[in-house]
């Protein structure tokens, strides 16, 4: 079965730079790997996603460990399924006020249920692409911010691996699709996707060889103040 890579666009804009960079980078990787790689991409702006209400109901029962779903019935769950299925994830966000996009943050709060269900995203490599208008407008802090919830999920953040892509893909652009003329930025985007693919391949081979099941178990008590 082909390796599945899921791209998640996080801009509120249509035809956004971050989406264009993600599309380009995934397409380039697909070209290089051929049928061995199956890249899909979604845009958070196309989904109806509500804020996490912080009700604390989701996760699993304390006694039997039975999984309890999120109480909100919207389209976030469609994306959860795609993330669980994927062998690797690539996120692409604009920089907004020096941070990762609010679309990303709002969605990631909702993924807490997957962590509380024994880390259902554990051991997936994650790469991040980011686009800012200013040359030093905040791409690196935004990339690091995006890593944090994935680290909480037990995912494995990767950088770009190549000579220019220390932390991920960094695009420099203003108007829609402007990033497509940022040759260096696109190269960093491609390098980051290729790094996710490389790690995903190794992990998949390792899991198959070892017949590996994740040992990460969620516990409400560890580190909590009661
Ligand atoms: C609310 C808002 C905040 C922004 N903050 C920053 C910023 O902190 N640094 C920066 O360089 N660009 C900033 N920008 C510009 C965007 O990062 C830039 O236009 C980028 O190309 C948008 O990507 P997108 O098309 O994927 O949304 C901001 C834009 C908006 C609308």
Q: What is the DSSP string of the chain?
A: -PEEEEEEE--SSTT-HHHHHHHHHHHHHHHHHGGGEEEEEEEGGGS--PPP------EE-TTT--EE--S--STHHHHHHHHHH-SEEEEEEE-BTTB--HHHHHHHHHTHHHHHTT-TTTT-EEEEEEEESSTTSSHHHHHHHHHHHHHHTT-EE----SSS-SSSEEEE--STTGGGG-HHHHHHHHHHHHHHHHHHHHHHHHHHHHT--------SSTT---
The CA 96 to ligand 1 mean position distance, Å, reads 5
pLDDT band at 128 (very low <50, low <70, confident <90, very high): very high
Residue range of the domain that includes 72: 3-210
Domain count for the chain, please give it.
Answer: 1
Mutation probe of ligand 1 site: the residue of 20, 24, 96, 145 with most atoms within 8 A of C-beta: 96
90: left (phi > 0), else alpha (psi -120 to 50), else beta?
A: beta
Is 219 inside any structural domain?
A: no
Angstrom distances, CA of residue 126 to CA of 85, 108, 144: 14, 13, 12
CA distance 20 to 168: 16
Taking residue 7's Cβ as centre, other Cβ atoms within 10 Å add up to: 26
Instruction: Please give the share of the chain, as a percent, with pLDDT higher than 90.
Output: 90
Domain membership flag for residue 81: yes
**Residues 117, 98: Cα–Cα separation, whole Å:** 32
Q: Whose CA is nearest to atom 19 of ligand 1?
A: 174
What mean pLDDT value characterizes the chain? 96
Q: Which two tokens stand for residue 46?
A: 């196309």
Residue 225 domain flag: no
- Backbone conformation region of residue 44, classed left if phi is above 0, alpha if psi is from -120 to 50, else beta: alpha
On whether residue 166 sits in a domain, the answer given is yes
Q: Which atom of ligand 1 is nearest to the CA of 178?
A: 21
Return the residue matching tokens 């259902």. 120
16 alpha carbon to ligand 1 midpoint, in Å? 10
Say what angle helices 183-210 and 17-33 make with each other, to 10 degrees: 50
Is the per-residue pLDDT at 12 higher than 80? yes
Per-residue pLDDT reduced to its tens digit, 67-112: 999 999 999 999 999 999 999 999 999 999 999 999 999 999 999 9
Nearest atom of ligand 1 to the alpha carbon of 95: 17
Q: Which atom of ligand 1 is nearest to the CA of 137?
A: 11
Q: What is the CATH number of the domain that holds 136?
A: 3.40.50.360
Is residue 76, in this structure, part of any structural domain at all? yes
Two tokens, residue 128: 């991040």
Residue 224 included in any domain? no
Task: Provide the whole-model pTM.
Answer: 0.97
Say if 90 falls within a structural domain. yes
Residue 45 lies in a domain: yes
- Residues 161-181 pLDDT 10s: 877 789 999 999 999 999 999
* Ligand 1 residue neighbourhood (C-beta within 6 Å): 11, 13, 16-18, 94-98, 131-134, 137-138, 173-174, 176
């Amino acid at each position: 079965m082909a390796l599945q890579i899921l791209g998640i666009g996080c801009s509120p804009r249509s035809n956004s730079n971050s989406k264009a960079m993600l599309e380009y980078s995934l397409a380039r990787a697909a070209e290089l790997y051929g049928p061995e790689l199956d890249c899909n991409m979604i845009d958070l702006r196309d989904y109806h996603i509500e804020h996490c209400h912080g009700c604390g109901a989701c996760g699993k029962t304390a006694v039997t460990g039975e999984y309890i779903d999120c109480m909100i019935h919207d389209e976030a769950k469609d994306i959860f399924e795609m993330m669980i299925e994927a062998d690797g994830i690539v996120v692409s966000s604009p920089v907004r006020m020096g941070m990762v996009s609010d679309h990303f943050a709002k969605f990631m709060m909702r993924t807490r249920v997957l962590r509380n269900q024994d880390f259902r995203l554990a051991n997936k490599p994650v790469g991040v692409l980011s686009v800012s208008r200013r040359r030093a407008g905040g791409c690196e802090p935004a990339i690091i911010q995006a890593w944090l919830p994935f680290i909480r999920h037990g995912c494995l953040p990767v950088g770009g691996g190549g000579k220019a892509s220390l932390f991920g893909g960094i695009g420099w652009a203003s108007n829609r699709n402007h990033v497509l003329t940022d040759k260096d930025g696109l190269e960093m985007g491609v390098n980051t996707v290729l790094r996710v693919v490389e790690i995903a391949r190794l992990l998949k081979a390792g899991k198959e060889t070892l017949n590996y099941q994740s040992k990460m178990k969620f516990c409400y008590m560890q580190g909590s103040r009661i």
